[in-house]
Amino acid sequence: MASAVKQSPVSIIITDAQGNIEYSNPKFTQVTGYMANDVLGKNPRILKSGYSPAGFYKKLWKKITSGETWQGEFHNKKKDGTFFWESAVISPIKNPLGTVTHFLAVKEDISEKKESEKKMIDIIEEGQRQLGRDLHDGLGQELTGIAFMAKSLVQKVKKNLPDETKNIEMLVDHVNRSITQVKNISKGLYPANLEQDGLQTAIKSMAENVNQLYPVHCNFNFKNVKRLPDPASEIHLFRIAQEALNNTIKHARAKNVTINLSQIKNIVKLQIIDDGIGIGESMQKNKGLGLSIMKNRARLINATLDVRLNDQGGTLVECLLGLRKGI
């Protein structure tokens, strides 16, 4: 058993009940750069990168000290200062009386996997941007030209063929509605104001769009929101809000939805709250795809995502993003 632990292809550390490291295997040293003597008696927090919200570690500690196993991901920092991702399972070890005496952490470096996921998302985002631009600048402009010519035609026809004027005016109305639809689709695919003005402006525009197009009242509240230093974080938070809204509109049968965006110190909080049928039924209809998309996006920016029933009914989607201190 001891030989298997030493030769394990994944990092293994064992701590006492207070979380102080008593053992680390060679793979841990290979991944983190810390020798066994460097970490002996120290807390695994020496690997903290400073990105995760404080509540993330509090929830983890509460779970494992209560005797449950925790599974998740860390965005950690090596001894040389470089960042890396780990997938971890932390389990309590109990004595015959049921008292927790130690914790066992089995961790795998998933940095390459994360980078691949990021590249794939970047490719998708760029494809959406291009399609949004093409719709807006190409098809949108073509339709605008057709609408302009049709309006001119109305003026010419009014004198000689007054009975046909109504039909042409209906055609103009259909074209104008098509132009609006193209603009709304292109906004969803390529939120240009997100790049130009930031997350707050983009979400505000999205909420206004919902109020115009759907029988759902969307309210947007914001507080102390600044431009985030990482554009990717703004994109992923916007897409999480967008996906939550799509689920609300298509599946939750909600009448009202509220989006809250705030920043307190180094924590950005995004909430989407609706008064619909609740997470169970709505996500079952959506087959969990929307939830999976939101979770993947949250993982890519090391944010925590919580989707649960709201106390007043409906669903609460909450995403917490920790910014590095000093940013």
pLDDT single digits (tens) 168-218: 667 667 666 666 665 666 565 566 667 777 888 889 988 988 888 888 999
CATH architecture, range 194-327: 2-Layer Sandwich (3.30)
Sheet strands side by side (includes 304-309): 217-223, 256-264, 267-274, 315-322, 304-309
pLDDT at 156 over 70: no
Single-letter residue type at 96: P
pLDDT at 287 over 50: no
pLDDT single digits (tens) 174-186: 666 666 665 666 5
Single-letter residue type at 201: T
65 phi and psi angles, rounded to 5 deg: -75, -15
| Sign of the four-CA dihedral 231, 71, 54, 42 | negative
From residue 302, alpha-carbon distances to 41, 201, 306, 314 in Å are 28, 23, 13, 26
Which of 60, 30, 68 lies closest to 43, judged by CA?
A: 60
Phi-psi region of 132 (alpha: psi -120 to 50; beta: other; left: phi over 0): alpha
Of 238-247, 254-263, 306-315, least confident by mean pLDDT is: 306-315
Is there a contact between 288 and 275 (Cβ–Cβ < 8 Å)?
no
> What pLDDT shows up at residue 159?
63
pLDDT single digits (tens) 223-233: 887 788 777 88
Calculate the average pLDDT of the chain: 80
266 phi and psi angles, rounded to 5 deg: -105, 20
Average pLDDT rounded to a whole number, residues 70-81? 89
Report the percentage of the chain scoring pLDDT > 90: 28
User: ∠ CA(289), CA(295), CA(299), 5° rounding?
Assistant: 145
Give the pLDDT band of residue 20 (cuts 50, 70, 90): very high
- Most confident range (mean pLDDT) of 92-101, 152-161, 270-279 is 92-101
2-109 maps to CATH 3.30.450.20:
yes
Residue with the bigger pLDDT between 213 and 130: it is 213
> What pLDDT shows up at residue 145?
66
> What pLDDT shows up at residue 298?
87
pLDDT at 113 over 90: no
Residue with the bigger pLDDT between 146 and 230: it is 230
How many residues appear in the chain?
327
> What pLDDT shows up at residue 319?
92
Of 49-63, 116-130, 132-146, 260-274, least confident by mean pLDDT is: 132-146
Give the pLDDT band of residue 262 (cuts 50, 70, 90): very high
Q: Among all chains, which residue has been given the structure tokens 């049928």? A: 277
> What pLDDT shows up at residue 225?
79
pLDDT at 326 over 50: no
Q: State if pTM tops 0.85.
A: no
Domain ranges across the chain: 2-109, 111-190, 194-327
Helices assigned H by DSSP within 161-288: 162-189, 192-197, 199-213, 231-247, 279-285
Average pLDDT rounded to a whole number, residues 255-268? 90
> What pLDDT shows up at residue 327?
42
Which two structure tokens, joined as six digits, stand for 242? Answer: 């967008």
194-327: same fold as 2-109? Answer: no
Give the pLDDT band of residue 59 (cuts 50, 70, 90): confident
> What pLDDT shows up at residue 93?
94
